[in-house]
Amino acid sequence: MKKLTHRLFCLILTMIMVISAAGCSAPDDNPTGENNNSDPNIVNIGVTDPVGTINPLLMDATEIVKYSSALQFLPLCELNSDLEFEPMLASSITTEDNIHFVVKIDENANWSDGTPVSADDLVFTVLRYASPVIANTSMLLYAFEGVGDDGWVEEGATEISGVTALDEKTVQFTTKYPMALTTFQNSYGRYILTVPKHILGEVHEAELASYEWFNAPTVVNGPYKLVSYDLNHYLSYEANENYFKGAPKIPKLNIRVVASSQLLTGLTIGEIDFLAPTMAAVLQEDYEAVQKLSNVTASFAKPVTHQSLFINTEKVDKRIRQAILLAIDRENIVTNLLGGAGEVVDGFLSTASPFYSEEVAPVTFDPEKAKDLVAQAKADGWDADKELNFYINSGDTTFNNVAMVIQQQLADVGIKVKVTPLDLSSLLMAAGNHECDMFVVQYSYAPVDPYPDASWILTADGWTKYQNDAIDKALTDTQLTSDIAAITDCYEIVNSTVQEDCPLICVYVIRALGAVNNRLKNATPDAYGSFINVHQWSIEQ
């Protein structure tokens, strides 16, 4: 089961890079052209991170890349705002044994040129994702039969034994080991974007990574077609009038890349119509102003992004780790530094998860107990003068303030820490090399499928250098059933053990702010599902 976690490691790091960097590294200039079109019939979606690629075969796990590509090439399924998997290109994804997954493509699914979307299109797409020549390192597929342990097939391969067409609209995926349906849906169903074999089938795989056709695709199965772009500034789309779910009501839309500091102004003057919380990071200090705008409806997304404090368990005594958890007044931080836009939990699950259990109540602030634990550790040889290296992301301005509070609260119970801000790349490198005693980074554990993240983090090779047999078994058991109650029981074991041993501490879970201009109807920003119904969005003149 651990193999799947390695398949997702690059994907996980990419997700963290975007979550933590959003709002910290967007262009400062304001170019002319498609990005600034003032036509009232055009909708502008604001994002705060440049788009890495427009080629779906090179897609990584970043939200902006996923959704900018998915506007043209649908995923098999998507999470909606209720955290339920909703059919997109596929009408259903099922399994009877957690080994064989049957994907049925929607009978009505057509390409924009009228050609039916077929099982051969999906098989062709997966084969290209597995190509060592295209070499997409985020979509490694070695969970499936016929794919090597490196995640790729042989160069020039024409088939994958574990991905086969059963009929014109049905594909069967066969895994090498049991996998939960939610893991398949979340890790593959949401990220495999089917491309047209009848257009690309004769293109050599060596050409596809830089194939000019993707710059303005002539054939798509999604609601929009890309017509022009500047990856650092904008992407412009036109409606696919032949979209099989219904022609979009808005003829043109743009994705505009701006700095977080520009979002409030953009919303105020109407240059930005829509902000999805996972793609646009509104500055914490602008929350109140955005909420007060008369032309905008602002709303908080479900809490999915954790501010996770990872502790190197080989370097830090268990009692010191427990004392750290007890010494941080997390509720006060959420109330006073986040303005209430967050929550406190322990472990990997926020209250948004279907597997969240109130049985694992978050540990409450108790500095006196923390002092006792520090004293016990000191009596057994812990060096009370030892200064723990505490690395944080310099670009996360809110947590830079929180870190100073934590430093003082830990000092109050006898734990010395040295706070070291690093840029995100340096922070992740230091964490991977286990240079620090503890570090903090924003991390979104998928509410419907925290298994890949948890099972990698809680290993001897993971950031925490922590491994526990009971946790390993509980995590493995989550892959053997689809019963929500049974999976919830498994995560109770995981989260209660993490709460006791403290290899990681959830400082808080963020409720990010989304916003929509009141002229835009049927559009609701949330952590998931914001674009499922984009073809039904409309403009009120």
| CATH number, position 424 | 3.10.105.10
Same domain, 314 and 448: yes
Q: Which amino acid is at 467?
A: Q
Q: Is residue 360 part of a domain?
A: yes
Show which of 144, 174, 199 is a domain's final residue. Answer: 199
> What does DSSP assign to residue 186?
I
Answer with the one of 167, 199, 231 that is the final residue of a domain: 199
The runs of H, that is alpha helices, within 380-510 are 397-412, 424-432, 451-457, 469-478, 484-501
pLDDT tens digits along 77-92: 999 999 999 999 999 9
Separation of first and last alpha carbons in the chain:
54
Q: What pLDDT band is residue 21 in, cutting at 50, 70 and 90?
A: very low
What is the tens place of the pLDDT at every residue in 234-268?
Answer: 999 999 999 999 999 999 999 999 999 999 999 99
Task: Point out the domain boundary residue: 163, 183, 199.
Answer: 199
Q: Is residue 211 part of a domain?
A: no
Give the residue-averaged pLDDT of 192-200. 98
For the stretch 509-534, what's the b/e string if a residue is b when 16 or more beta carbons lie within 10 angstroms of its beta carbon?
bbbbbbbbbeebeebbbbbbbbbbbb
CA distance 275 to 517: 9
- For 397, 430, 482, 512, the CA distances from 261, given in Å and listed in that order, are 12, 29, 43, 15
Helix (H, G, I), strand (E, B) or coil at 217: coil
Q: How far is CA 134 from the centre of its chain?
A: 23
Phi, psi of 118 (to 5 degrees): -120, 170
Longest dimension (CA), the chain: 76
The residue count for the chain: 541
Q: Which pLDDT band, with edges at 50, 70 and 90, does 38 fall under?
A: low
Q: Are 193 and 313 found together in one domain?
A: no
Give 163's contacts (C-beta < 8 A, 6+ positions apart).
Answer: 123, 126, 127, 144, 146, 171, 172, 173, 174
Residue indicated by tokens 């992740």: 428
Q: Taking the model in full, what pTM does it have?
A: 0.87
Distance CA 489, CA 223 (A): 40
Residue 386 domain boundaries: 305-510
For residue 143, the domain's CATH number is 3.90.76.10
- Backbone angle region of 421, left / alpha / beta, with phi > 0 → left and psi within -120 to 50 → alpha: beta
Residue type, 242: N
Q: Domain count of the chain?
A: 2
